[in-house]
């Protein structure tokens, strides 16, 4: 298959590209990247990079017979980014590509959504808006649109500014950890299982609009997750629950895995087993101790 991947230079996009290269001998991948530095697959002959400029994307669509567009373009709104930056990454840019894909008769489009409530923050709101555009285009054009509702995922090589790896790293190092009271429930899933789910949907042959939760259907409270990490790292850290205020309308998130289970043999790793493995890998990397 021929793939156009938006934001493929990011963490999840890079993981998916690695999997596609391993599982699809005929994969030909074009990746949009904001910066042409640190391109992970620059030496891979089946992967090429283009900028996010509209004219480069349009030209690439003319030159390549893409089977599907995968949208990993994303802005969470961290680092005090303005709302227009979030809108650009989560709506305007992928919408331009979606419209162009319809014009160029590309039949399949996948986007990564969130399982969090629509109006929890600007990030979730913009993801909702783009999802609605996907529905509209399916209703009015011959398009298969896959909206993947991702739960909180984790991996030992994730950036340390994300909640779970940051908590693990701090507790490995015996640092004080400040959290909310942690009553909110989260369906946490390993990134390897997320990638398997993405590949499953790509190969599914589903038609029309499909919104598919990707999770485990098991959701520990954040407080339980933090307690487990502390125990597995040797109870070296002081954890102060309630030091961080809960967001208003903080939700519980538990995936309904019935849709993904119909598409493939869906057996995601149990969260304690996955987190235990993550802690072991991070401990070895951060301390040199096996």
For the ranges 40-54, 59-73, 173-187, which has the lowest average pLDDT? 40-54
Rg (the chain; Cα; Å):
20
Residue 35, pLDDT > 90, answer: no
Residue 80, pLDDT > 90, answer: no
The tens digit of pLDDT for each residue in 180-221 reads 999 999 999 999 999 999 999 999 999 999 999 999 999 999
State pTM to two decimals.
0.94
Reading phi first (left if > 0) and then psi (alpha if -120 to 50, else beta), residue 163 is in alpha
Tell me the three state secondary structure of residue 185. Answer: strand
- CA dist 14 and 29 (Å) reads 11
For residue 104, give the DSSP letter.
Answer: T
Binning pLDDT at 50, 70 and 90, where does residue 40 land?
A: confident
The tens digit of pLDDT for each residue in 107-159 reads 999 999 999 988 888 899 999 999 999 999 999 998 999 999 999 999 999 99
Residue 10 buriedness (CB in 10 A; 0-12 / 13-18 / 19+): middle
The tens digit of pLDDT for each residue in 231-271 reads 999 999 999 999 999 988 788 999 999 999 999 999 999 99
The tens digit of pLDDT for each residue in 90-105 reads 999 999 999 999 999 9
Pairing state between β 108-114 and 144-150 = parallel
Residue 42, pLDDT > 90, answer: no
The confidence score (pLDDT) of residue 81 equals: 58
Please state, rounded to an integer, the average pLDDT across all residues of the chain.
Answer: 93
């Amino acid at each position: 298959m021929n793939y156009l991947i938006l934001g493929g230079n990011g963490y999840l996009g890079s993981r998916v590209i690695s999997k596609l290269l391993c599982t699809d001998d005929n994969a030909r991948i074009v990746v949009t990247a904001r910066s042409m530095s640190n391109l992970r697959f620059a030496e891979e002959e089946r992967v090429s990079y283009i900028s996010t400029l509209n004219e480069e994307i349009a030209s690439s669509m003319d030159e390549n017979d893409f089977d599907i567009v995968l949208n990993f373009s994303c802005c969470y709104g961290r680092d005090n980014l303005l709302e227009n930056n979030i809108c650009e990454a989560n709506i305007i840019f992928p919408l331009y590509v979606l419209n162009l894909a319809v014009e160029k008769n590309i039949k399949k489009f996948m986007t990564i959504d969130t399982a969090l409530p629509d109006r929890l923050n600007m990030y979730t709101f913009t993801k909702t808006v783009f999802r609605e555009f996907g529905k509209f285009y399916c209703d009015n054009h011959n398009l298969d649109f896959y909206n993947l509702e991702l739960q909180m995922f984790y991996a030992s090589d994730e950036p340390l500014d994300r909640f779970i790896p940051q908590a693990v790293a701090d507790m490995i190092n015996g640092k004080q950890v400040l959290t909310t009271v942690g009553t909110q429930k989260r369906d946490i899933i390993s990134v390897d299982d997320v990638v398997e789910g993405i590949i499953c949907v790509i190969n599914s042959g589903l038609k029309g609009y499909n919104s598919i939760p990707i999770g485990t259907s098991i959701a520990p409270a954040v407080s339980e997750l933090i307690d487990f990490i502390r125990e597995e790292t040797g109870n070296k850290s002081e954890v102060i629950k309630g030091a961080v205020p809960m967001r208003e309308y903080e939700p519980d998130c538990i995936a309904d895995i019935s849709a993904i289970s119909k598409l493939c043999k869906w057996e995601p790793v149990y969260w304690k087993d996955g987190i235990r493995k993550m802690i072991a890998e991070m401990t070895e990397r951060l301390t040199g101790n096996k």
